[in-house]
Amino acid sequence: MTQDLIDGFMEAIPLPAVLVDQSERFIAANAAATTLLGANLVGRHFATILRQPNVATAIESCLYERSAKTARHLSNDGAQDTTFEVALRYIPGIGAVNGGAALISLTDITDREQASQMRRDFVANVSHELRTPLTALMGFIETLRGPARDDAPARDRFLTIMQGEANRMNRLVGDLLSLNRVESEERVRPREQLDLGAHLASTLKSLEPVAEAADVQLILEIPEEATLVTGDPDQLQQVFTNLVENAIKYGGDQVTLRLRTRDRDPAVRAAAVRVEVIDNGTGIDPVHLPRLTERFYRVDTHRSREQGGTGLGLAIVKHIINRHRGRMRVESSAATGTVFTVILPR
């Protein structure tokens, strides 16, 4: 087989691929492989490029045993760790003295690995979040059936705590179901037209009792004319209810809900509306900002649980905004408080 024919076959492979013959040197590489592993591969010993012991062992075994092998190659693309699945197949009759060569192809499975890790983390987090209230409930039930059976004041106190823990589990299950529903609909664009200003006014009205209980002033700033957007009314109400509730719980003594329109917004590269939820609290440390929308991530775990938070609210908000093809921005400082900005295309 001529080198031109070998090179032609290599370029026809859609994955990064190289050939290593019995001299343990690269005899061919396609363009995808040179992009991944570097230029001028041909003629170099494979160990100078593929240094990881499991990959080197797989190559040597493939050449010696003349059989298929697999391995895993770990790398870094400059932004994150990457994982490649390495498949090796023996090809007879080519290479040095026609002694055969190993065809090595690399498949990027980073997304698959990350998704698998996310599932494991999600299950672990849910288990942890449910175990705490369940353990409390079991302990109080045991106490009520034993030492506190005839102690009326203790029984009332324990039942109040048990109700709080049961409510916490109910909120968590409700948020998990809501997150699952939002994720399943994320690729389906909403089609209903609604007046966003009126929608925000209604949302703020429903939160007045919560604000009064926390001694927080609510301010609404919306244009006089109707602001029409395409969206899911229930999901958008969920977004702004969550953001305003968070501002009431963790902000200062004033929360402003401001609606503005733009003929062209660079965030969505089209006409858009911006809804800002502004508080005058102590702000959020910048180190937390990139992770705010992660599931179960909390800036202050103890305070969040005391306030009834499940750690899923902003994750739900993110998925809803994604479904509406919008964006969310967060700005925060100790001097001015925190601003959550939701950008929706018009």
- The string of DSSP letters for 200-241 reads HHHHHHHTHHHHHHTT-EEEEE--SS--EEE--HHHHHHHHH
Summarize the confidence of residues 66-82 as an average pLDDT: 85
**Per-residue pLDDT band at 17 (split at 50, 70, 90):** very high
Note the Cα 221 to chain centre separation in Å: 32
Q: What is the pLDDT of residue 302?
A: 57
The position carrying tokens 């698959």 is 112
Judging by DSSP bridges, how do beta strands 270-279 and 254-265 pair with one another? antiparallel
Q: What is the largest CA-CA distance in the chain?
A: 93
Q: Tens of pLDDT along 111-146?
A: 888 878 777 877 777 787 788 788 888 888 888 888
Summarize the confidence of residues 168-192 as an average pLDDT: 83
**Per-residue pLDDT band at 308 (split at 50, 70, 90):** low
Cα separation, 189 vs 116, in Å, equals 27
pLDDT of 90 > 70? The answer is yes
Q: What is the pLDDT of residue 1?
A: 63
**Per-residue pLDDT band at 92 (split at 50, 70, 90):** very high
Summarize the confidence of residues 217-236 as an average pLDDT: 90
Cα separation, 247 vs 241, in Å, equals 10
Cα separation, 311 vs 270, in Å, equals 32
The position carrying tokens 């602001």 is 227
* Portion of the chain with pLDDT greater than 70, in percent: 96
Amino acid (1-letter code) at residue 176: L
Q: Tens of pLDDT along 95-118?
A: 887 889 999 999 999 888 887 877
Structure tokens at 22: 């019995």
End-to-end CA distance of the chain: 60
The position carrying tokens 């994150």 is 80
Cα separation, 188 vs 168, in Å, equals 31
Q: What is the pLDDT of residue 270?
A: 86
What is the DSSP secondary-structure string of 151-181?
A: -HHHHHHHHHHHHHHHHHHHHHHHHHHHHHH
- For helices 233-250 and 196-206, give the axis angle rounded to 10 degrees: 50
Collapse the DSSP code of 273 into the 3-class scheme (helix H, G, I; strand E, B; otherwise coil) and give the result: strand
Cα separation, 62 vs 18, in Å, equals 14
CB 21 within 8 A of CB 60: no
